[in-house]
Structure 1
Amino acid sequence: MTLFAALRLPQEILFGKGQRHALATVAARLGRRALVCTDERFAATSVFAELVSALEAASVAVLIYDGVQPDVPADSVSVCVEDARTFDPEMVIGIGGGSCLDMAKCAALLLTHGGQLKDYYGEYKVPSPIIPVLAVPTTAGTGSEVTPVAVISDSERTLKVGISSPYLIATAAICDPELTMTCPPGLTAVAGADALTHAIEAFTAARRGVDHSLAQKHVFIGKSALTDHFALLAIKLLGRSLEKACKDGSDEDARADVMMGALAAGCAFGTAGTAAAHAVQYPAGALTHTAHGLGVATMMPYVMNYNLSASVTEMSQIGAALGLGTPGLDERQLAVAAIEKIRRLFAAIGITATLADLGLAADKLDWTAEQAFNIDRLIKNNPRPFDLDAMKRLVKAAYDGNFAASAM
């Protein structure tokens, strides 16, 4: 018997129009003091004020930290935690984009276990459970509301760093598509492309075996029967509605599809993991200071083409999920059609076509490839193996826009 699966998710996931109004009830079950992490923009909205008022009406005292910055600078977490210690929160609520949710996870971690964030970099460094985290996303992309990962930026390091532990998974994820209705087209595109990349990389991730210790030693453990289910759902929903949501942000059905797609992609990659597109983005993004979702989506078609020879079946299933099951196409033709569909979709929503367009300097190609190749937790997840020369060829192809060369 070879069937294997693993999945780690919040205790409760609530999804649907108006579900934000359940936040106060959920929080009241967990305690009477909540630290709320958000950014300055969302903190100034009437929706945020309504959520805070509902918490207070449910006898949950609130301390607001509205200084969340993009990519969560590590020192900002220390500021947040020091401000909150005397308040002694019993839970942390993250409301906003992925950075707000990651801030909530990191704050809960330090409030529970102390120390510095760098003490927890890597996998399985968190020693035991943290105080409950409630995640309320207002964008549809990172999937942080359901994943065991928090990504931060450390001024002492060139690349962003991650803390990965099942203990970081939110206790509850409350996903209300209405909160994304005012998300501008550019952010909708970049976040949605990030989610679609999560789903594709999770579905095409290497299958790592059935060793009973695998999931006890690693957070990302490759594809399985359960992660495949969520990944294909995400691909279907994002494939049919991401472009619609970018063109018409008032389309409620498209917004719901994109948010559910991002959620499902998070359910998939939170256990399966991501691979080469993310590995290249970490150094490329650090050098270009561009959005994470933009970088991974720029790389995704090239990585799919590189992986085609090792993942024809999976790529053809992606094609079917994208609605490309045209009669007469064999498995490989459907796989190729899937890659072309992703290229066209990303172009239509404004994703950069090359690493050069992303702003990567030509003299940094080898450095980018070397850094990407050394991110072992992602590279070992890729279905087609890499050596350093292969990574250099992939990065060069993505820089030049030479799509055919990415398969070599």
Structure 2
Amino acid sequence: MSIYGAIRSPRAIYFGAGQRHALPAIVAGLGSRVLLCSDERFNQDPMLGAIRDGLEGAGLRTELYDGTIAELPLACIAEAAAKARDFGPDVIVGIGGGSCLDLAKLVALTLTHGDELSEFYGEFKVPGPVLPVVAVPTTAGTGSEVTPVAVLADPVRISKVGISSPYLIPEVAVCDPELTSTCPPGLTAVAGADALTHAIEAFTAIKHPTDPGRALQQVFIGKNTQSDAQARIAIAALAGNLAAAVADGGNASAREQVMYGALCAGQAFGVAGTAAAHAIQYPVGALTKTAHGLGVAVLMPYVMDFNRSACGPEFAEIARLFGITQGEEAELADAAIEAVAELFATLGIPRTLAELGVPVERLDWVAEQSLLSARLVNNNPRPLDLAAMQQIVQAAHAGDRDRLRRH
């Protein structure tokens, strides 16, 4: 592959234990009136409360919205935006998991460009810069602290919808792995599995011709040199440390590596995009009300088996990043899929869509709805049509990956 790529990133990323203590100086450089977007955990965690104290101690005015709801229904966004309007912030700090960070982006968008978010659904619909956002993740999964994406739940739509624009990339990301120390094992597992699927799907996304201007016309440009570099770092960090972080939440080194892996995975897919596992998860999540990270992790081994014929070299490299070095390339490619499946099983991720609660009679509906995510479908390295989607969801429901290897 010739060298081709794009980098879209916050103006600054500060990573490392204790970096949260730099927030007063960082935020003061952007404004003096600070809206904090978080959830109900904010007032229960002394580390988060200390962040607000530090901001106010630096002379900044703060207002807290702590009503973030997972998957971000429109009513939650409207409530937060109304509170923001009354306060009049000039900078927004998102503190929490992916939904808190996405909420900060969407409130910044609403205050700058209007309440009708449906006008911005899709790619490159945001007309210009938004209020500056500082993203402070407390989980290691979505990578929202560095991505151009915010996902929400519109009651008119069956599945979640996304707004994708470089203008939504936070101004600054502050990634302090100490903030994940209270993250429970189940959430650590699901968030980390989400990050690994981001990295794998970015690394194996379709390769497009290196057309000048592609990155000016598409937010997600497929597999490229820059995203590959970030994806490799992410896969290695997560493969080597996620299980340890889940087994022992006090393992500071593992926590650090998992957060770094999630960050790099976000930078990878924020340019390359994701593919079939994410496309299928949207209707699965809508049907079962299960967590996004859980759904994509269940689907990932099946999608990898389906894509095996189109991604042999990439899968072999994934195996090596997992520490598997013995075997021919074809054997390594197979080993990569098994390694991902085994890691997820170790984390307690269900093996099938049936275990997530998908009824067998809704499988064709899931396949049909998956195809509506055209951006994700078109980014898959192997072409997807209805028959292909049906193969994947049927195999994932039955727990029969062999049927995908026969096609």
TM-score when normalising by structure 1: 0.98
Which structure 2 residues correspond to residues 112-151 of structure 1 after superposition, within 5 A? 112-151=112-151
- Tell me the secondary structure at the aligned position of residue 62 of structure 1: strand
- Tell me the secondary structure at the aligned position of residue 40 of structure 1: coil
1:38 is aligned to 2:38: yes
Per-residue deviation at 1:115?
2.8
* Aligned residue number for residue 224 of structure 1: 224
1:391 is aligned to 2:375: no
Per-residue deviation at 1:45?
1.9
* Aligned residue number for residue 254 of structure 1: 254
* Aligned residue number for residue 185 of structure 1: 185
Query: Amino acid of the residue matched to residue 368 of structure 2?
Result: E
Using the alignment, how far apart are the partners of 1:185 and 1:4 within structure 2? 39
Which structure 2 residues correspond to residues 334-345 of structure 1 after superposition, within 5 A? 334-345=332-343
Using the alignment, how far apart are the partners of 1:79 and 1:182 within structure 2? 28
1:82 is aligned to 2:91: no
Preserved CA contact (<8 Å) 2:316 2:330? yes
- Tell me the secondary structure at the aligned position of residue 368 of structure 2: helix
Deviations for 1:304-360, whole angstroms, at most 9, x for unmatched residues? 11111110000001111111012xx11110111111011100000011100111110
Per-residue deviation at 1:43?
2.8
Query: Amino acid of the residue matched to residue 305 of structure 2?
Result: N
Preserved CA contact (<8 Å) 1:398 1:406? no
Per-residue deviation at 1:81?
1.1
Preserved CA contact (<8 Å) 2:42 2:49? no
* Aligned residue number for residue 211 of structure 1: 211
Query: Amino acid of the residue matched to residue 390 of structure 1?
Result: A
Using the alignment, how far apart are the partners of 1:71 and 1:406 within structure 2? 31
Per-residue deviation at 1:77?
0.9
Using the alignment, how far apart are the partners of 1:161 and 1:200 within structure 2? 22
Which structure 2 residues correspond to residues 3-402 of structure 1 after superposition, within 5 A? 3-326=3-326, 329-402=327-400
Preserved CA contact (<8 Å) 1:298 1:355? yes
Per-residue deviation at 1:3?
2.1
Per-residue deviation at 1:374?
2.4
Using the alignment, how far apart are the partners of 1:232 and 1:49 within structure 2? 35
Deviations for 1:227-283, whole angstroms, at most 9, x for unmatched residues? 000001000000000000111000000000100000000000000000000010000
Using the alignment, how far apart are the partners of 2:98 and 2:287 within structure 1? 21
List alignment gaps of at least 5 residues for structure 2.
none
Using the alignment, how far apart are the partners of 1:115 and 1:285 within structure 2? 26
List alignment gaps of at least 5 residues for structure 1.
none
Bigger drift between 262-271 and 75-84 goes to 75-84
- Tell me the secondary structure at the aligned position of residue 41 of structure 2: helix
Using the alignment, how far apart are the partners of 1:35 and 1:73 within structure 2? 19
Query: Amino acid of the residue matched to residue 179 of structure 2?
Result: L
TM-score when normalising by structure 2: 0.98
Q: Tell me which stretches of 4 or more aligned residues in structure 1 moved more than 3 Å.
A: none
Preserved CA contact (<8 Å) 1:193 1:297? yes
- Tell me the secondary structure at the aligned position of residue 202 of structure 1: helix
- Tell me the secondary structure at the aligned position of residue 306 of structure 2: helix
Using the alignment, how far apart are the partners of 2:367 and 2:49 within structure 1? 46
Identity of aligned residues (%): 54
CA-atom RMSD in angstroms:
0.9
Count of aligned pairs: 406
